[in-house]
Amino acid sequence: MAEGEFALVRQHLEIALSKSATWVGEHDLYAMLADAAAQQRDEAALRQYTPLAEETASRYDHKLYQAVAHRACTLALSAT
């Protein structure tokens, strides 16, 4: 796991998921959560957030978030 402030990023993003905001959507948060899980090599978080990131990125046809989700999925598959 990462150390320092980066280690808290997932915790802060998960809190953001529970709050409603007009300037950020679930697709933004799921992409960031999947990316954080990939960077931290957190297998449980990869399994939890990668499918959600893929689904929401596809729903909005968001190419960047689709790429983020694809990278996280690749890491999730290589970790198993």
DSSP 61: T
Q: Domain residue spans in the chain?
A: 27-80
With beta carbons less than 8 A apart as the criterion, state whether 51 and 37 touch. no
Going 70 to 36 to 11 to 62, the CA torsion angle's sign is negative
Rg of the chain (C-alpha set): 12
Q: Which of 51, 38, 30 is nearest to 2 (CA)?
A: 38
| pLDDT digit string (tens) for the chain, length 80 residues | 445 666 788 888 988 888 876 678 899 999 999 999 999 889 999 999 999 999 999 999 999 999 999 999 998 788 76
Q: How far are the Cα atoms of 9, 18, 36, 38, 41 from residue 2, in angstroms, in the given order?
A: 10, 24, 10, 11, 9
Q: Given this model, what pLDDT does residue 1 score? A: 43
